[in-house]
């Protein structure tokens, strides 16, 4: 009676140097590596009889092959992958967050914010994948440069939560020339809701009284946006 022998998974150190993720990164650069290879470097080692490279493939597969989906999932979802404990799950989430923050810094400091696309370039990397709504105020100087990003609320957006006092307090303190309102829709659809319109009308009116004009309200969706100014809604 014969029995099948399950082939043993090679460890990273047993692979030829040209196939090891760390060595490939050193010689070819990070962009030459696949997402699973980069995850293998983040994981550091394998587990449960699998190499770090195989474990990285399993982690990516559990998120449907999408790093964006992985970033949106809670840490517990990563821990569901065999071989990924708390430390590894937290490390992966921290790495993804660093990538998100780097993308948010991609816009040159001091560059003017003159169009909805400029607003999206600044805010989308941080907001488009959040599981809840966040309402931000972009405080601009006289040259339309972003002086400060103020987070007003985190949660469901309505007029009772977004009060003009909270929105314009920092703008007044910063001697703002103008502001732009920004928030996200976790559904991915940036179409304004009735509450979005009510909040915008209220804040635009308050801005006129304070002589701090609201230039726009940009709603960030997933890969899309709606600008109140472009849509003629201000």
The first and second tokens of residue 1, run together, are 């009676």
Helix axes 194-210, 164-173, angle to 10 degrees: 40
Residue 228 and residue 216 in contact, taking contact as beta carbons nearer than 8 Å? yes
pLDDT digit of tens for each residue in the chain (234 aa)?
445 544 555 566 666 666 678 888 888 888 888 888 888 888 887 766 677 888 888 888 888 888 888 887 888 888 888 888 898 889 988 988 888 777 666 555 567 888 999 999 889 988 888 888 899 999 999 999 988 888 888 876 554 467 888 889 888 988 899 999 999 998 899 999 998 999 999 999 999 999 999 999 999 998 899 999 999 998
146-154 vs 178-184, strand pairing mode: unpaired
What is the pTM for the complete model shown?
0.63
- Please state the φ and ψ torsions of residue 231, each to the nearest 5 degrees: -85, 0
Residue 40 and residue 56 in contact, taking contact as beta carbons nearer than 8 Å? yes
The whole-angstrom separation of Cα 216 and Cα 140 is 12
Helix axes 35-43, 21-28, angle to 10 degrees: 120
């Amino acid at each position: 009676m014969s029995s099948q022998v399950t082939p043993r998974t090679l460890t990273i150190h047993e692979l030829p140097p040209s196939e090891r993720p760390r060595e490939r990164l050193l010689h070819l650069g990070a962009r030459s590596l696949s997402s699973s290879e980069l995850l293998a470097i983040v994981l550091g080692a394998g587990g449960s009889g699998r190499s770090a490279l195989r474990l990285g493939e399993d982690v990516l597969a559990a998120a449907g092959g999408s790093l964006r989906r992985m970033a949106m999932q809670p840490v517990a979802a990563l821990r569901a992958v065999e071989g990924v404990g708390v430390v590894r799950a937290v490390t992966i989430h921290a790495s993804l967050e660093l990538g998100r923050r780097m993308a948010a810094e991609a816009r040159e400091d001091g560059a003017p914010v003159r169009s909805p696309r400029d607003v999206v370039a600044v805010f989308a990397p941080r907001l488009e994948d959040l599981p809840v709504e966040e309402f931000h105020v972009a405080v601009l100087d006289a040259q339309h440069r972003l002086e400060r990003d103020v987070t007003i609320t985190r949660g469901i957006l309505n007029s009772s939560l977004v009060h003009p006092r909270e929105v314009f307090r920092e703008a007044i303190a910063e001697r703002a020339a103008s502001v732009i309102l920004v928030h996200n829709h976790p559904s991915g659809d940036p179409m304004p809701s009735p509450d979005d319109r009510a909040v915008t009308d209220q804040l635009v009116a308050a801005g006129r009284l304070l002589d701090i004009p609201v230039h726009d309200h940009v709603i960030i969706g997933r890969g899309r946006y709606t600008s109140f100014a472009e849509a003629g809604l201000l």
